[in-house]
Amino acid sequence: MRFVWAVMAFVLAAILIGTGIAQRTIFLGPKDVTAELSVKSPQAYTVIDSSVLRAHPGEQTLVAHGDGTIFVAQARTGDLDAWLSDTSFNRITLGKDGKTSAKVIDPTAKSDGEDVQRNPAGSDLWLDSFSDKDSLIDRMQVPEGVSVLVASDGKSDAPTDLTLKWPLDTATPWAGPLMVAGGVFLLAGLVLYVLAIRHSRRGRGPRRKAPPPLPVTEPIDVAERQRVEGTGADAAGTGSADAETEPTPPPGETGAAPTATGTAHERRAVRPRRRLLMLLPAVGVTAALLTGCTPDIWPHVSASPTPSPTETQSAEAGQQAPAVTEAQASRILESISGTLADADKNLDAAKAETRLEGAALDARKTAYAVRASVPDFALPATIPPDKIKILVPQAYDAWPRTVLMLVEHGNDEKVAPLIMTMTQQDPWSNYKISSVAEMQAAAKLPNMAPAWLGAKLTPPDSPFLAAEPDNLAAEFANVIDQGDKSEFYDKFDKSAIAFAKSVQESRAALQQALKDANADTTSSLAFAATAGPEPAVSMSSIDSGAIVAVTLDDSQTIKPTSADAVIKLDKNPSAKALTGVDQSATGFVSVYGVQLFFAVPAQGSNDKIALLAASQQLQSVTEIK
């Protein structure tokens, strides 16, 4: 019967293991669904619409083949349309029947009647981008509203050999349990088979009827037996008087017994090892079947979801998309940092101009001009390439777009973080930093909207703030010039007043130095703070306030008061480097650009306008004509 059970276990094991293997082989369907994308009239650009990319659930894999450079970028569909508005391109869309079709889209913003040839590589508009030679495989997880651009270098036609793939669910959750169960039955069958063989050997076949009892035997006289055997041997002529007879062990001696006993023990010790060796094939087969198996062969037990915190902000109806994502902002910052590092190294103002504008550009141009003659002249703060602590993009679908960022210098807490604004003027331009300043030690930013939501720009003449953004620079300039006599003095907090006093103290020190040199009788020194030419940038905060970036021009005018006097630049090498003269009979005007960031509360709030960050650099030195 044990053999029957063993055979049944082997049969079940074969069925279970075979079924599990079949689920992963002959019964396993295709791993993905594929769509061939074709165009009738090749163009320099091909747009794969979001509906095509999301025709099937799961990750999208784009395979492109062509000659030369292949460039692929992801962008919001509206942004791609804006970027391609001045040129023709192919758009691949999904029809109601589920089939794809390509159509050439004519430009909507022609300027000279010809398509614009523009290399798409390096644009800040892309959410992500990849490039390769001759062939490219791009795995994506494109969300709704995002399309893909396929191009070469903007001059050659885009690759036309395009294939999209989506993964199919090939999970076989019962394959693993079936193979494990088959292994268990295989092991059980082997055990039953071993037990059946052991039982059969112990029984030694069918038992026979016992023989009748033997007659009672008499004791044998050993000495008499030897005498009789000896006599018989001599009579036969086969014995020998000198032959030695091996003594028979007396009763009770066990000379040969240990050998027999030892053999029995050895056999008992070998049998368990043989059984273990017989079990090894079952374990090995089961292990081999499960080797290399993926989690797809096991049932997935859905754990209870962990509660996530509820968002404190939500998008309003009609809310526009944020200008950049966090990943996109990090890539842009890294590009800006690398460009400016190279420009600083080579004192290349033209390269700096590709990533700076306004007061930030003027400060660097001046610094480069002075540094060429004065090697120890300090350059403006370097832009760190990473660690964006706070990102507030403008929620705006059109252009220009503005982004506010607070950036730290890695893990170096001794260097003040930088707060900056950068602007993208149109779809074809890259972002440029317009204002950048070092955070004050005790400054605290107001509550700003998260990066995924974005914030709105406050109108420059908004009456809902404690100070209109366009008037803020002029009001603070008045505080610098007038001190506590200014009508705007009480609108600013202690940090802003402390900065204004530091400017006043530096002015007083210059006046004292002029007096100590006995030059105050032959020359005059005047100071004035005015609003800079750049418009204010105001990003709204959650509490109806705003962070406002403004610029000031702090000018110093020195001129002689006597016809025989001249103003010399012997002790001012930076002014000498910028003007190219050693002295002047008319005098000089030095302008220091001051970039400031304020936290402006809402109108009617009891809070005061707080200074968040400030930066001051030499902007220009000119001779009075």
* Residue of 281 and 496 predicted with greater confidence: 496
| Mean pLDDT confidence for 595-624 | 96
Residue 328 pLDDT > 60: yes
Q: How far is CA 428 from CA 165, 308, 349, 529, in A?
A: 31, 39, 21, 37
Helices (H), 204-256: 222-236
Percent of the chain exceeding pLDDT 70 equals 80
Q: Counting beta carbons within 10 angstroms of the beta carbon of residue 276, is it exposed (0 to 12), middle (13 to 18) or buried (19 or more)? A: exposed
Q: Which residues, in sequence order, are bridge partners of residue 407?
A: 388, 418
DSSP character at residue 355: T
Q: Which two tokens mark 442? A: 């005790």
Q: What does the pLDDT look like over 380-408, one tens digit per residue?
A: 999 998 789 999 999 999 999 999 999 99
CB atoms within 10 A of CB 386: 12
Domain boundaries, the chain: 1-29+170-202+278-287, 32-167, 326-623
Q: How confident is the model at residue 233 (pLDDT cuts 50, 70, 90)?
A: very low
Helix (H/G/I), strand (E/B), else coil: 377 = coil
Q: What does the pLDDT look like over 524-550, one tens digit per residue?
A: 999 999 999 999 999 999 999 999 999
Which pLDDT value is given to residue 6? 80
Determine contact, residues 321/454, Cβ cutoff 8 Å.
yes
**Rounded distance between C-alpha atoms, residue 557 and residue 584, angstroms:** 13
Chain-wide mean pLDDT for the chain?
Answer: 84
| Mean pLDDT confidence for 160-187 | 83
Residue 207 pLDDT > 60: no
**Residue holding tokens 């809310």?**
319
Helices (H), 447-580: 469-482, 494-516, 573-579
Residue 240 pLDDT > 70: no
Residue 350 pLDDT > 80: yes
Residue 237 pLDDT > 80: no
**Rounded distance between C-alpha atoms, residue 506 and residue 340, angstroms:** 30
Q: What does the pLDDT look like over 64-115, one tens digit per residue?
A: 999 999 999 999 999 999 999 999 999 999 998 889 999 999 998 766 656 6
Q: Which residues, in sequence order, are bridge partners of residue 527?
A: 556
Determine contact, residues 239/233, Cβ cutoff 8 Å.
yes
Q: Which two tokens mark 276? A: 């273990």
Determine contact, residues 504/480, Cβ cutoff 8 Å.
yes
Residue 309 pLDDT > 80: no
Contacts (Cβ under 8 Å, ≥6 apart) of 321:
76, 395, 397, 454
Strand intervals (E) in 82-151: 89-94, 100-105, 128-140, 146-151
Which pLDDT value is given to residue 223? 55
Residue 37 pLDDT > 60: yes
In terms of DSSP bridges, do strands 45-48 and 89-94 run parallel, antiparallel, or are they unpaired? parallel
Q: What does the pLDDT look like over 420-429, one tens digit per residue?
A: 999 999 999 9
Helix (H/G/I), strand (E/B), else coil: 193 = helix
Cis peptide before 385 (omega within 30 of 0): no
Determine contact, residues 359/551, Cβ cutoff 8 Å.
yes
Q: Which two tokens mark 95? A: 């029809």
Residue 316 pLDDT > 70: no
In whole angstroms, how large is the CA radius of gyration of the chain?
46
Which pLDDT value is given to residue 558? 95
In terms of DSSP bridges, do strands 588-600 and 523-531 run parallel, antiparallel, or are they unpaired? unpaired
**Rounded distance between C-alpha atoms, residue 423 and residue 290, angstroms:** 57
Which pLDDT value is given to residue 221? 58
| Mean pLDDT confidence for 168-181 | 76
Residue 359 pLDDT > 80: yes
* Residue of 252 and 23 predicted with greater confidence: 23
Residue 195 pLDDT > 60: yes
In one-letter notation, the amino acid at residue 79 is D
